[in-house]
């Protein structure tokens, strides 16, 4: 029955996604407002379909360009984060070679970066900076890889150079830098019960795990609870430089994940914030 349920969910996912591809492509082609709102609504639906209940703490920056810095555990992070805010992602260049999923990434205006070649770091930094200056909310996973969901790996500072971009000046003529918002993601519950360390790898995708078999097993395993915490924004000058910004955001994100993991289902039971009179994650509940 679990396998039938999993294939039913995946079939529905494909059935819904295929007509959504030309719909989103046309929005991008003609620069329509739904190019931002459709991925947000689409991922809300997917969270409900996959049985992912998202609890949101804090409020995402959405009224201006922002670089969001978060920990990375699974491909489910994309669904979870996009269901809570109108965002695009920064992804490694290898994602461009993935069948089907690369198309979905492009349709969400993902910025692809080459992490292994230092000569490409400046170009990637400039792409991220330009998108943020255009008013986009971009999510960067500075760990450089995904983890087992039980910890946060060290943050790499290279791509955080985009945070040094100046977006204006204050009344005294001092430069105002790009807003940086740390975001913590924690997988805390399984079937309505606290998720132990041994269960998180069922949803965490890391190392040399194969994507499709892992996805099928994750869907078979059952509904999960995830806590997302949007921390207070800061800037590179407040942190004291790019490397200090990486260290500070790493600590903030790690502390947020630790609180959520320790709080477990009590944290997941918190009421979610409102957005324009509706729950941010109404479709993910």
Instruction: Give percent above pLDDT 70 in the chain.
Output: 92
pLDDT, mean of residues 32-48:
97
Phi-psi map region of 200: left, alpha, beta (phi>0 left; psi -120 to 50 alpha): alpha
Query: Mapping DSSP to helix (H, G, I), strand (E, B) and coil, where does residue 253 land?
Result: helix
Return the number of other C-beta atoms located less than 10 Å from residue 29's C-beta. Answer: 10
Residue 54 is predicted with a pLDDT of: 97
Q: What is the pTM of this model?
A: 0.91
**pLDDT tens-digit map of 216-270:** 888 888 899 999 999 999 999 999 999 999 999 999 999 999 999 999 778 887 6
Domains, in order of start, for the chain: 2-279 (3.40.1130)
> Poorest-confidence range of 18-27, 176-185, 192-201?
192-201
Q: Which helix (H) or strand (E) holds 28?
A: helix 2-29
């Amino acid at each position: 029955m679990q396998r039938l349920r999993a294939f039913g969910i995946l079939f529905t996912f494909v059935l819904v996604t295929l007509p959504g591809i030309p719909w989103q492509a046309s929005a991008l082609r003609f620069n329509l407002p739904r190019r931002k709102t459709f991925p947000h609504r689409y991922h809300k639906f997917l969270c409900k379909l996959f049985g992912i209940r998202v609890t949101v703490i804090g409020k995402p920056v959405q009224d201006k360009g922002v670089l969001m810095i978060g920990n990375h555990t699974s491909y489910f992070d994309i669904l979870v984060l996009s269901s809570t805010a109108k965002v695009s992602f920064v992804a490694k260049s290898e994602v461009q070679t993935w069948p089907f999923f690369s198309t979905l990434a492009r349709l969400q205006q993902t910025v692809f970066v080459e992490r292994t070649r230092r000569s490409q770091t400046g170009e990637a930094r400039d792409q991220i900076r330009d998108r943020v200056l255009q008013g986009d909310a971009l999510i960067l996973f500075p760990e450089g890889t995904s983890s087992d969901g039980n910890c946060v790996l060290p943050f790499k500072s290279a791509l955080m150079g985009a945070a040094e971009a100046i977006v204006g000046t204050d009344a005294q003529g001092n430069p105002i830098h790009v807003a940086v918002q740390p975001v913590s993601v924690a997988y805390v519950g399984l079937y309505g019960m606290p998720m132990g360390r041994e269960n998180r790898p069922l949803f965490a995708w890391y190392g040399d795990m194969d994507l499709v078999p892992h996805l099928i097993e994750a869907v078979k395993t059952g509904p999960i609870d995830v806590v997302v915490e949007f921390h207070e924004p800061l800037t590179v000058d407040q942190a004291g430089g790019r490397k200090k910004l990486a260290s500070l955001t790493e600590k903030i994100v790690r502390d947020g994940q630790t609180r959520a993991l320790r709080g477990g289902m009590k944290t997941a039971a918190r009421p979610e914030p409102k957005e324009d009179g509706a729950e941010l994650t109404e479709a993910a509940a």
